[in-house]
Amino acid sequence: MSKHVVHMKGRSKPIEVGKIVCIGRNYVDHIQELNNERPSAPMFFIKPATALVPIEEPIRIPTYSHKARHELELALILNSRLFQCQEIEVLPAIDGYAVAIDVTLQDVQDRCKEKGQPWEIAKGFDGSCPISPFVPAADVSIPQDLMIKMLVNGKLRHNDSTKLMIWQIPAIVAAASQYFSLEPGDIVLTGTPAGVGPLEPGDKLEMTIEGVGRYSSTVAK
């Protein structure tokens, strides 16, 4: 069985990943730009480890979609098991932070929603989670106050702070742990701020999360 791994800056040994837990609708302006309802509790979906690709590799859009979009997010990775935990237990269990993209096939997701079908094929396909190397948690002093910024072909898209999350990091992870056992090597995506937009072949992406990293990528032609 092949292993899906990520890397931590300053460490030679890669980290094997189990699953990627994602929170949806965690920034008010993002909810409004998509005309969605604000949830009363955190809402989650999961990407498989096969969704992971290095963030600087070209993004490949599946042939069954013609309307993909980017959602830039702060990711975290765990170093210990959490199950039905309290918020106070979360921060000591975070091993590091990374820059990640939740690549979403908007047309596929909309069709699935209209039919009442699951929409994993719009969110969890291979390559749907480009991710950077992780930065040790100790090197990110205030993860709840980091600017998230993306330019596409030089034009600004995302440009907001993680302090605008509806549910902050301890609350996200503690809530997820009520439903799923979170294991060492599991990744959590913390939601995307406003500024989502289309991904077209040949697009050039510049992505920055303050204190975590700055990366460039393209959309494959």
Structure tokens at 142: 């205030």
Structure tokens at 192: 């995307």
pLDDT of 31 > 90? The answer is: no
DSSP tag of 115: T
pLDDT value of residue 117: 95
Question: Rounded to the nearest 10 degrees, how much is the dihedral formed by the CA atoms of 165, 61, 127, 167?
Answer: 10
Q: What is the CATH number of the domain that holds 169?
A: 3.90.850.10
Containing domain of residue 212, as a range? 5-218
**Cβ pair 175, 87 in contact under 8 A:** no
Q: Categorize the per-residue pLDDT at 35 as very low, low, confident or very high, splitting at 50, 70 and 90.
A: confident
Indicate the range of 18-27, 29-38, 179-188 predicted with least confidence: 29-38
The total of structural domains in the chain comes to 1
pLDDT value of residue 2: 56
pLDDT of 1 > 50? The answer is: no
Give the tens place of pLDDT for each residue, 39-74. 899 999 999 999 999 999 999 999 999 999 999 999
**Average pLDDT of the residues in 1-10:** 85
**Average pLDDT of the residues in 17-25:** 96
**Average pLDDT of the residues in 112-123:** 95
